[in-house]
Amino acid sequence: MWRTVKIVIVALTSLLVLILLAASLALWLIFTPQRLTPIVQNQADKYLSCQSHFGNVELTFFRTFPQLGLKISDCTLQNPMPGASTDTLLSAQQMLLTVDVNAWRQKREIRINELSLAHASINVFADSLGNANYLIYNSSANTTTVNDTTSEQASTPPLTIDNIDIKNTNIAYINQSSKLDARVQSLDANLSATMEQNTIRSAVHIHKSFVSLAQNCENYLDNTPIEFQMLSDIALDKQQILIDNLQAVIDVLDMQLSGSLSYQADSSSLYMNLSFVLNETPVAPLLKLVPPSLQHYTKSIDADGLLASAGSITGQFNPNEMPTVDLSIDLENGTLTYHDFPLQLHDIFGRVTFKSDLRTDASTILNIDHFEAKTPLSEISTSGTVTQLFSDMHLMLNTQAKLTLEEFKPFIPDSLKTEVNGKAEAQIESQFTLSQLKNTDLEKMKLSAYITLSHFDAVYDSLALASSHSNIHFALPNPNRQTENTGFAVLSITSADLSASMIDKFEGQMQNSVVRVEISDFRDTTRLPDVLCSFRIDSLTGSTDTLGIALAHPLGQFKLNPMPYNTEIADIELRLSTASTSGNMGKTLARLASMELETKLEYSSREKEIWEQWQARGSFHLEQAELWSEGLDWPVEIPSIKLNFEPEALAIEESRFILDESDFQLSGELNNISSYFRNDSILRGNFDFTSETTNVSQLMNLTSGIGYNDEETDTQAADTTSTGPYMVPKGIDIALNTRVENASFGTDSASNIKGVVRISDGILLLDEMRLETPAARMQLTAMYRTPRKNHLFMGLDYHLLDVEISELLMMIPEVDSLMPMLRSFGGKGEFHIAAETYLDSSYNLKMSTLRGAASLAGQDLVLMDGETFSEIAKTLRFSKKAENKVDSLSAEFTIFRNEIDVYPFVVVMDRYKAIVTGRHNFDMSFDYHISLIDSPLPLKLGVDVRGVIGDMAVRPAQPRYAESYRPANRFAVSNMQLELRKSIRETLTREIEW
């Protein structure tokens, strides 16, 4: 057995040696390079139109054992073309072709075991006319074999290329028509292919090579390292490429691709079904792949991170169709610095998916599954979808942000003088298109934002705003509108504390406030916006340099609508209630326990004057209010006031005021208010004034001077130490139906006061006021005008009933000047005076203007003993037994300046009856005559009394009046009284013309 084996081995070895020997002989003796090279050169010259050169062509056997190879050294193809950078099309140091002869001999199969190209240079050039240097096949030489070739193609034998090996080869491809310049340096590649039944199964492996690619002078790749591996089946009959796996590394891009590409002749389209994966790729070097023409977009960007992507491309590609692209992009640990963006972004994570047919909006959508980024102090994340990418891009985003506002200072121009601090957390949902954003079509956009501000403060120029904690909700449009027209937007602010101030202007604070504002589209300048604002605040304070206000628990609603008939006129409703309020205006302070205000305002910006711009209707209710004014030594207390108002009228339903010594209730109506401010009418009012106690002087001081100009009141203003005279208000017509239990006026007092007090355009009228004093019952009708401060007119009818004469003299000392003889009487009488005069600013009589009449009547008066009376009694021979008592007295006087003329009157005293007449003056000088017309004596006696108080001369005189003389009642006072009342009536009833 071993011998047999040994024999076989020896035989085979011998056979092999013989074969090798034969091959060696053939190679060395028959197929020598010297013989083969010319053959190849001739064939090349025959089939190639370009100049070729083959340095050495030889067959290899041992080197390519067991296949036979053809080795070509120093091969050169030259095809010069104008414009080409080189004449050389191909320059290879060495080429080797190895063919499996057995495969051809046994299977009629072309099997190229190896095709290698080493140290070669390939320069492909095509000019702008399409002439290319690689078109070197000499067609004329092939003409005779076309048919053969065609027949051969019809039965193309199987072709297998085991390995195409390219080493250190440089390839350049320049196409001037497409302005393409592609270069591969140091190409090392392996390619194997098998062709069976029109299907080429290939494997390509390009080792690390360096590629430069430029088109239109744009460098897309610049000596970029590339590695490439691909397994594919190419079905020639189906014109289809199946890519089992393609792996490519282009610089930092590491990607895999698989799928198929097929050309569909019936539709002249390319059908693609490709899927790809881009492995995690660092962003920074990726940016370097950006073509130079686009680098201005990225030159200011420093970015990094890991970018990955996967996706598919499926569908037809032809002039009418585009394949569907479905891809996702992931970014992790990204950083971004943009030179014009002062903040550096880091921790950027994002995932975006994109699906599109690259043609229609309906089939295109970009989903931002998640995106987040951080700045040093802030972070933001968003998600959403973007559609309509081929027309008006529509974005639907849900964004969250946690912002440290200090970071964003660099974004605010210095010219704005704005500074913002604090933190803001926001959740924003938005839907809009780019055109809506560009055109600010807010009514078409949807925006909802919840923002929480903490430790927030902002300063804009001199305006400052601060809040320790506030929640803000903003929605566009308003999803829960409470009125028909306020659906445009809603803003709701809930703030623990909020303060606002403007330097040297105002300061304001709110505590625990909830403010909600709904509004219509405020951009419509043809109409006023609809606004609905409701608020609930625990505490609201505000102040300016002269004003201050503090509201506790203000609660209310503000509503503004344009009027239907004129949209430029505002219809405003305001409801406001407060638990307590305090405020000050200068040194005037106010405080109230509660307030309720309901008002409806019409505002028109077209009017100039404020009372024309605002027309108010509503009601006002106040409880427990106090007012301290600089000019008052006491507070004005308002325990309650309830009133209704409208532009022309103010109706006080009920009210109570306490002003120091005055405590009164006021009710009634005030009319012509807006007309008064328009100077169309005077202010008219009619009130019931009911009081327990009233200090008349204080109330008069409060209303003094209203309606007077500075010239009329300058003297009063200059004299701040004096309250000055009461200046009757002008431009108003107010009637007070008074009922006062107790009143004081200076040192005087009265009770049970009833009557009408009327202030009518500078005239104060008292119409039959009835009052009582400790001394008398009184009735007073008076007219008081104040044409100027030192010229005050007073006309009066003063009727005192049952007056105690001594009290009367104390109460009205001027009566002593009018009737000095009253000093001599005691008891009760009736005093009546009708007079008019002017007064100076201190209420002193201007004697030169005094005119009037007075009367005095009494019964059973006690005659006070005195020196003058004793002298008179002695002269008239009065009996010592005569009672010191005047039975009756009825005297009348006229007053003109300082002269008091006494009409003759009768004095009855015991059994004596005398006529008294004469004159006395305010300087207390006397000129009287007394005629005794009835006495127990048989004599007719008379006396003249002349002189001054303290130096009175009583002289017997001829009696001027006979015994039968009875003085006529002249009714001087009554006539004047009637005339005065008539005049007052006329004043009260006249309509003041305006």
**Footprint of another protein on this chain (CB under 8 A)?**
783, 787, 790-791, 793, 795, 834, 836, 838, 840, 846-849, 851-853, 894-896, 899, 918-919, 927, 975-976, 979-980, 982-984
Q: Which of 537, 542, 579, 586 has its CA nearest to residue 558? A: 537
Q: Which of 753, 730, 845, 743 has its CA nearest to residue 792? A: 845
**Least separation, in Å, of the C-beta of 795 and another protein?**
3
CA–CA gap between residue 441 and residue 145 (Å, rounded): 75
Instruction: Return the number of the residue (793 or 965) whose C-beta is nearest another protein.
Output: 793
**Least separation, in Å, of the C-beta of 960 and another protein?**
12
Place of tokens 């008398």: 776
Instruction: Return the number of the residue (838 or 905) whose C-beta is nearest another protein.
Output: 838
- Contacting residues for 794 by C-beta, under 8 A, at least 6 apart: 782, 783, 784, 785, 836, 837, 838, 839
Q: Which two tokens stand for residue 977?
A: 């009284």
Amino acid identity at 367: N
**Least separation, in Å, of the C-beta of 815 and another protein?**
19
**Least separation, in Å, of the C-beta of 964 and another protein?**
23
**Least separation, in Å, of the C-beta of 971 and another protein?**
11
Instruction: Return the number of the residue (508 or 918) whose C-beta is nearest another protein.
Output: 918
SS3 per-residue string spanning 807-860: HHHHHCCHHHHHCHHHHHEECEEEEEEEEEEEECCCCCEEEEEEEEEEEEEEEE
Instruction: Return the number of the residue (168 or 925) whose C-beta is nearest another protein.
Output: 925
In order of 20, 110, 201, 917, the CA distances from 106 in angstroms are 21, 10, 22, 180
Q: Confirm if 497 and 511 have CB atoms less than 8 A apart.
A: yes
**Least separation, in Å, of the C-beta of 784 and another protein?**
10
DSSP state at residue 286: H
Instruction: Return the number of the residue (777 or 970) whose C-beta is nearest another protein.
Output: 970
Instruction: Return the number of the residue (567 or 983) whose C-beta is nearest another protein.
Output: 983
Instruction: Return the number of the residue (307 or 902) whose C-beta is nearest another protein.
Output: 902
**Least separation, in Å, of the C-beta of 739 and another protein?**
26
**HSE (side-chain half, CA atoms, 13 Å) at 323:** 20
**HSE (side-chain half, CA atoms, 13 Å) at 627:** 16
- Contacting residues for 15 by C-beta, under 8 A, at least 6 apart: none
Q: Which of 935, 882, 881 has its CA nearest to residue 912? A: 935
**Least separation, in Å, of the C-beta of 919 and another protein?**
5
**Least separation, in Å, of the C-beta of 903 and another protein?**
12
Instruction: Return the number of the residue (775 or 972) whose C-beta is nearest another protein.
Output: 972
- Strands (E) located in 897-958: 899-909, 912-921, 925-934, 942-948, 951-957
Instruction: Return the number of the residue (132 or 728) whose C-beta is nearest another protein.
Output: 728
**HSE (side-chain half, CA atoms, 13 Å) at 222:** 9
**Least separation, in Å, of the C-beta of 994 and another protein?**
23
Amino acid identity at 101: V
Instruction: Return the number of the residue (364 or 917) whose C-beta is nearest another protein.
Output: 917
**Least separation, in Å, of the C-beta of 822 and another protein?**
21
Instruction: Return the number of the residue (230 or 769) whose C-beta is nearest another protein.
Output: 769
Instruction: Return the number of the residue (518 or 836) whose C-beta is nearest another protein.
Output: 836
- CA angle in degrees (0–180, nearest 5) for 519-524-525: 120
**HSE (side-chain half, CA atoms, 13 Å) at 30:** 6
CA–CA gap between residue 59 and residue 626 (Å, rounded): 125
Beta bridge partners of 469: 454, 497
Q: Which of 398, 347, 351 has its CA nearest to residue 373? A: 347
- Strands (E) located in 216-252: 218-235, 240-250
Q: Which of 183, 159, 162 has its CA nearest to residue 171? A: 183
**Least separation, in Å, of the C-beta of 923 and another protein?**
12
Instruction: Return the number of the residue (796 or 873) whose C-beta is nearest another protein.
Output: 796
**Least separation, in Å, of the C-beta of 896 and another protein?**
5
